[in-house]
Amino acid sequence: MKTLLHICCAPCANQCIDVLRTDGFAVAGFWYNPNIHPFTEYRARRNTLRDYAATIELPLIERDDYGLRPFVREVAEDIEHRCVKCYEMRLFETARQAKEGGFDSFTSSLFISPYQNHELMREIAERAAHEYGVEFLYRDFRPYFKAGQEKARELGFYMQKYCGCVFSEQERYLKPSKIIP
């Protein structure tokens, strides 16, 4: 079974790829992340993924347009609920690519993150699957999160500090720091 894996970054993807391959899926990666800001962050994540994909012989489809402006237009009216639009943009585009590319199913490395809203992502992915007539392959990859982060460090991957959008970066800096006495 051919599945298209939307990839937000190589640190999140490495275990997803391993699990899917172990389960017998022919996996191809899909890079589409219009939410990532600034451009240097976008480029660092994309280039790390490109390098990793080459080393593991992962076919990689890229929609490599820096989409900050369309992303901001989508979320501007409701920044507090921006994740809905962000998930929709990425998962609907992944479903479309899967359908056009002749894949049997699609999923996302976002499902490894304990910081993402899995129920919301799943609901959106199921809507995208229905709209494009391609199966959504749900996998809860969260049990592999720690192993994925460890492997990413071992491989010397670029490791980001926030989800990707300018608003999540801002929130990262607004959180009170944990001071150990």
Residue type at position 146:
K
**Contact status, residue 149 vs residue 10, Cβ threshold 8 Å:** no
Q: Which tokens go with 127?
A: 């809507």
pLDDT tens for the 181 residues of the chain, in order:
999 999 999 999 999 999 999 999 999 999 999 888 888 989 999 999 999 999 999 999 999 888 788 878 877 787 677 778 889 999 999 999 999 999 999 999 999 999 899 999 999 999 999 999 999 999 999 999 999 999 999 999 998 775 666 556 555 556 555 444 4
Q: What is the largest CA-CA distance in the chain?
A: 57
**How many CA atoms lie within 13 Å of 160's alpha carbon, on the beta-carbon side?**
27
**Number of residues written out for the chain:** 181
Instruction: Output the six-digit token pair for 176.
Output: 């009170």
Report yes or no: 13 and 29 within 8 Å, Cβ to Cβ.
yes
Model-level pTM? 0.89
